């Protein structure tokens, strides 16, 4: 269902500068309408973020595509996602052949998404907890993607990155963030590229924003 809508969306992403063929292919295959609440289905293939309940959102397709492209992962890479949410971003990474680990702080959102993953056959290892401390058990990761806006770059995430790997994280105030694309060039060295003007829900945790 909705193949035509997905094709139109992918063409739009291409015209907006997404060039990575594997990313575009995954977006043309993963059924975004299955990751949004039923009343939002008619909006599923618009290039906008949508509410998923609990004050959270499913990211805009352009943002998902841009961040995934920025990770520059090879098939089979190990990726950590912070902010499972609807599961759409994790499903894209899984479709691209990545080994996906994903953390969500809201237990109800995580459990609901884990059920959806089971139903759709999306293999992603899920954890309920504070992603700002990372997931040391499976580190190092070839890529880490943070899908909520943070006031700082959490130290543990830089530590848990493989040398040569990338951390993609929106950093700024609660209204607007700059996307940081951080490449780990050595055990203690990093190179950062910045892309302005993104808007994410807040990352709440020990190295993120306070709860209230
Ligand atoms: N990747 C998601 C986007 C979800 S929105 C998708 O594809 O739909 C961001 C999510 O991050 C929310 O569900 C929010 O509850 C979660 N979140 C916020 N702070 C977090 C933290 N410290 N650790 C893990 N998840 C967090």
41-94 tens-digit pLDDT: 999 999 999 999 998 999 999 999 999 999 999 999 999 999 999 999 999 999
User: How many domains does one find in the chain?
Assistant: 1
pLDDT of 212 > 90? The answer is: no
Q: What is the pLDDT of the chain when averaged over all its residues?
A: 97
Minimal-distance CA residue to ligand 1 atom 2:
85
Q: What is the pLDDT of residue 174?
A: 95
Alpha helices, DSSP H, located in 121-200: 155-159
| First and final C-alpha spacing in the chain | 41
Give the alpha-carbon dihedral of 189, 151, 78, 34, to 10 degrees: -160
Minimal-distance CA residue to ligand 1 atom 10:
83
pLDDT of 145 > 90? The answer is: yes
Question: How confident is residue 6, by pLDDT bands cut at 50, 70 and 90?
Answer: very high
Q: Which one is catalytic: 15, 28, 42, 59?
A: 59
The CA distance from 113 to 106, in Å, is 11
Q: What is the pLDDT of residue 61?
A: 98
Indicate whether residue 57 lines ligand 1 (CB < 6 A): yes
| Nearest Cα to Cα of residue 14 among 73, 61, 84, 72 | 61
- 56 C-alpha to center of ligand 1: Å? 7
Contact criterion met (CB below 8 Å) for 125 and 183: no
- 205 in any annotated domain: no
Question: How confident is residue 211, by pLDDT bands cut at 50, 70 and 90?
Answer: confident
- 206 in any annotated domain: no
- 208 in any annotated domain: no
The question of whether 59 is a catalytic residue gets the answer: yes
Q: Express each pLDDT in 148-171 by its tens digit.
A: 999 999 999 999 999 999 999 999
- 207 in any annotated domain: no
Of 19-23, 55-59, 182-186, the one with minimum mean pLDDT is 55-59
The CA distance from 28 to 68, in Å, is 14
The residue segments making up the domain with residue 160 are 3-198
Q: What is the pLDDT of residue 187?
A: 95
- 209 in any annotated domain: no
Q: Express each pLDDT in 102-139 by its tens digit.
A: 999 999 999 999 999 999 999 999 999 999 999 999 99
Q: What is the pLDDT of residue 196?
A: 96
Residues in the chain: 212
- 99 in any annotated domain: yes
Side-chain half-sphere exposure of 147, counting CA atoms within 13 A: 31
- 210 in any annotated domain: no
Residue 76, SS3 per DSSP: coil
Overall average pLDDT of the 180-206 stretch: 97
- Specify the CATH number for the domain of residue 70: 3.40.50.150
Q: What is the pLDDT of residue 43?
A: 97
Indicate whether residue 60 lines ligand 1 (CB < 6 A): no
- 179 in any annotated domain: yes
């Amino acid at each position: 269902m909705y193949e035509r809508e997905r094709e139109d969306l992918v063409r739009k992403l291409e015209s907006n500068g997404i060039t990575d063929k594997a990313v575009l292919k995954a977006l043309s295959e993963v059924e975004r309408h299955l990751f949004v609440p039923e009343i939002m289905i008619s909006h599923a293939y618009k290039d906008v973020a949508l509410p998923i309940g609990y004050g959270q959102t499913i990211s805009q397709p352009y943002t998902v595509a841009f961040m995934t492209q920025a990770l520059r992962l090879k098939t089979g890479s190990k990726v950590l996602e912070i902010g499972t949410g609807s599961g759409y971003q994790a499903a894209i990474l899984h479709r691209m052949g990545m080994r996906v680990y994903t953390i969500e702080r809201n237990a109800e959102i995580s459990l609901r998404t884990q059920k959806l993953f089971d139903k759709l056959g999306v293999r992603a290892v899920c954890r309920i907890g504070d992603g700002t401390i990372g997931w040391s058990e499976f580190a190092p990761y070839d890529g880490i993607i943070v899908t909520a806006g943070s006031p700082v770059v959490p130290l543990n995430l830089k530590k848990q990155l493989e040398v040569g790997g990338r951390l993609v994280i929106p950093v700024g105030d609660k209204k607007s963030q700059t996307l940081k694309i951080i490449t780990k060039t050595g055990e203690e060295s990093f190179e950062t590229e910045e892309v302005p003007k993104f808007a994410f829900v807040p990352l709440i945790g020990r190295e993120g924003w306070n709860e209230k």
